[in-house]
Chain A
């Protein structure tokens, strides 16, 4: 869940209303699907649950939504956009590199340190989550007073040079990817291309190299800046329009006047930002199906307006008009949820589920549970271990030869990088951890092991099996003792097994046997001295493991 930091006083200023922290946390924030994670004085850390609501990733967006909650402003938020003459021509050669752009100008804004922090936060959070780490969306803000005439967004030679942000010498685009911190972080987004995207003005002065870095000259917004140029690039025009709308809406709410820019593609012109609205028809039947009762269209209209939508009541439906930056509205149910939130979940009457159905556990669960019951009857202590393990434990310590495991591609610890093939090493590890506890230690686990199998056509597949393993550790633990336990268990379970002498590297020679139980296989015997040593155990250990 993305989090943003805001200042409570700032939120109050935007709302024109004093807020009690408790009410804000318990009532107001849930209205925006957000939660106050921490509050230190005036500084609030807000978690934004809905990753499809990038418009809420700023204090301005939250304030806009909360105006509906407090009744300060209802219905669709209105944004004034003036048309400018500025054009950005887009090079068709960017097609496979980063083909789309959206631009706007925000004028007459008083940039403060705080506003700057908020804008940077908004820009970063949108790019990080909604923009998939700049892959889909990269945003740049510029000091518009340093930008001349019309702009050109094109696929530039990698030798082209400019001074990137936070540097004082010119670097080629190729060098930037190698030496600039942002180049190193985001360079992979341009991998495999022989030309890189570049945004320049009519004087050929570089504004930025999307999605990597702005220029030191104009790509730096400071408290002295009053006019801002906004550049958003990506692959999907709809997504970058949403991102641009959100940044413009935030600046608009801070008092900037927004001017649009014409984006010229080959054979097509569009004007950004959009800052418009979409309409969706929501059948009353759907609302009633989800609310679970007859609803009144007028109250639905009131709820829609609280959630910053306009609403028209029709015969069998309502028509909701919502801001074009609402990326989360895919289906009419998304509007129904907003209506429910405005109605307040805690004011809805919970309904008892009266449907009578027959409950049951899985067949395999019933078997495992009977086996567990029998083991407990034998006085064994159940243990619960992780299914992820290490090769060291599963293979090396057991003296087994190199073998294939079902293995994680991206483990974060060598201790948990494969799935266990056997429960025995896990039980030995448990005994090893309990060396200083009182003996006898008689333990068992019934759980899953995960085997890597090959089908006749050579394809690898995963085979998960339920197994039971028992380990007896005490002075007199030996083959006969574990066999006595197994006999008792078989007696209780009605199992008729066949046992044959077997050799196994993990077991003492001559003190190991294989078990056959219909189709199921198992092993029983005394763990070898060497294996015990590997687990740091000095007490004899007799074990068995069998498929269930």
Chain B
């Protein structure tokens, strides 16, 4: 046996409508229900039959008297009342005619003709002129527009209640267009269960809705898709035990280059390869101890068993401010400002390069940068890279290739296999050179890596144009599915 709730949920639209009208009346018959719920009689009957079966209403057959159209009545509704026929015949005869001619022309029986003529004369639609002709007065048009008799016929046909006190009703009955018939009608009372079921059905309300209809859109609050992606990467790195490093937008060249053993005449320090600041021009160098150790490493490799670069190092060049060109600048600063050993550090850094903006280049982009300060080997670096490729890119296969960075030795490039795109270059890594770490006072190895997080984001977010990472198109953001790492 179904529960009342199941029954209520399964109610059809007509059943709910029937219950809805029944709840406000002690008892209604099928005809009254059809009328009040504005539904066809057929539907009301079906609804009552189902509701009765489900035990939501008490049904009772009751004899009622009702009006019905006779054959004449049906014909009048379809083809016009006798008086209409009479008048249109008269119009055809030129607006006036003799009695006999009109009787013939109207096609009515003598009896009908008399009744019709009596009616038209009563309303002054036809008069008898001096020549004893019947003549139209011109009032007929307005009369038929408001003709009550026709409306009564229509209502009777439809089973709608009418005012039986009117003169027209009595006339139509007298003329044999309407008759009284006896009829058995189904009568219903809503019961306790019916009331409850109605309440449940209304609270669900589903029967009221057209599912296909377009509803007003709601714009939810969402993270920008790329920002959200970066959040997830950050969470992942924290879970892997990495501490986030400070990553200012603007740094001294010292951190971007000098501390990373990039000679001051290195092509990467060119005008065309990095931005410089016009205002302000200079920042601050770290402690004199660090600065002189870095200077010595550059000039002669003193203190780090290196040949050095063999040139005169300038502190003024190193003090120049620039928008960070790579995230490794922040690793350099972290090493100078102090690290735990062993320690793991990371940054997602906004970086800047004077590249014309196109599908694969932005002037501003992000780099995922990290270091592990511990006596670990190159093979540990490979292991870490493999873990990143698996964790962040969900890569199944990775490949390593020798690479070059002025600040790492050995250096390695990581590629990961993408199911559709094939091998994707994913980032670079290496062990910081002794000329980098020793002057900063670090005695153990430093494993360093930088991943092209923008490129990874592109294939995670299904984007093939780098500019879209920073898209400000609200439509795109509103429709963008949330992508998980």
Contact = CB atoms under 8 A, between A and B. Distances in A.
Contact of A385 (B242, B431, B445, B470): B470
Contact of A331 (B279, B301, B355): B301
A150 to B, nearest CB: 30
Interface in A349-390: 349-353, 355-362, 365, 369, 372, 375-388
Interface string B137-157: 000000000000000000000
Contacts of A356: 241
Nearest to A444: B221
A238 B310 CA distance: 10
A409 B276 contact: yes
A218 to B, nearest CB: 31
A289 B403 contact: no
Interface in A433-447: 433-434, 437-438, 440-443
Interface in B19-43: none
Given A334-B409, A388-B363, A438-B219, A340 B378 contact: yes
Given A291-B378, A372-B223, A434 B310 contact: no
B221 A377 contact: yes
A361 B238 contact: yes
B356 interface: yes
B248 A464 contact: yes
A352 B227 CA distance: 30
B376 A292 contact: yes
Nearest to A429: B472
A353 B387 contact: yes
Given A376-B222, A385-B470, A388-B352, A362 B244 contact: yes
Interface string A441-455: 111000010101000
B345 to A, nearest CB: 9
B244 A292 contact: no
Interface in A1-57: 30-31, 33, 35, 49-52
A412 interface: yes
A461 B283 contact: yes
Contact of A50 (B280, B321, B378, B404): B404
Contact of A381 (B219, B226, B241, B249): B219
Contact of B219 (A236, A405, A440): A440
A409 B278 contact: yes
Contact of A360 (B217, B244, B309, B477): B244
B410 A336 contact: yes
B411 interface: yes
Interface residues on B, range: 35 or more
Nearest to B231: A369
Interface in A40-93: 49-52
A419 interface: yes
A345 B401 CA distance: 7
B434 A33 contact: no
Interface stretch (B99-107, B285-293, B336-344): B336-344
B343 A331 contact: no
A356 to B, nearest CB: 6
B95 interface: no
Contact of A330 (B271, B307, B374): B307
Contacts of B191: none
A157 interface: no
Given A337-B410, A408-B277, A440-B219, A289 B308 contact: no
A333 to B, nearest CB: 5
Contacts of B375: 289
Nearest to A377: B221
B382 interface: yes
A348 B382 contact: yes
A292 B265 contact: no
Nearest to A379: B221
Nearest to A372: B223
Among B238, B308, B386, B409, residue most surrounded by chain A Cβ atoms (within 10 Å): B409
B442 to A, nearest CB: 14
B474 A441 contact: yes
Given A351-B380, A353-B372, A361 B244 contact: yes
B241 A333 contact: no
A407 interface: yes
A462 interface: yes
Contacts of A434: 472-475
A345 B412 contact: yes
B161 interface: no
Interface string A208-234: 000000000000000000000000000
Nearest to B363: A416
A340 B275 CA distance: 35
Interface string B409-422: 11110000000000
A503 B22 CA distance: 65
B409 A337 contact: yes
Nearest to A352: B383
Among A52, A379, A462, residue most surrounded by chain B Cβ atoms (within 10 Å): A462
Contacts of B354: 410-412
B431 A381 contact: no
Contacts of A450: 249-250
Given A129-B267, A353-B384, A292 B219 contact: no
A337 B434 CA distance: 13
A280 to B, nearest CB: 9
Contact of B363 (A379, A386, A440): A386
Nearest to B357: A413
B403 A49 contact: yes
Contacts of A353: 372, 376, 380, 383-384, 387
A442 B469 CA distance: 20
A325 to B, nearest CB: 14
Contacts of A336: 409-410
8 contacts: A132-B267, A291-B377, A330-B435, A331-B433, A383-B224, A385-B472, A386-B363, A440-B219
Query: 6 closest pairs, A vs B, by CB?
Result: A292-B377, A460-B280, A359-B238, A337-B410, A350-B383, A409-B278
Interface of B: 217, 219-224, 226-227, 231, 234, 237-246, 248-250, 265, 267, 271, 275-281, 283, 301, 304-311, 321, 323, 340, 342-344, 350, 352, 354-357, 363-364, 372, 374-380, 382-387, 399-404, 406, 409-412, 431, 433-435, 445, 469-470, 472-475, 477-478
Given A331-B304, A359-B242, A433-B473, 5 more contacts: A289-B377, A348-B379, A353-B383, A380-B221, A383-B224
Interface of A: 30-31, 33, 35, 49-52, 129, 132, 135-136, 236, 238, 289-293, 329-334, 336-337, 340-341, 345-346, 348-353, 355-362, 365, 369, 372, 375-388, 404-413, 416, 419, 429-430, 433-434, 437-438, 440-443, 448, 450, 452, 459-462, 464
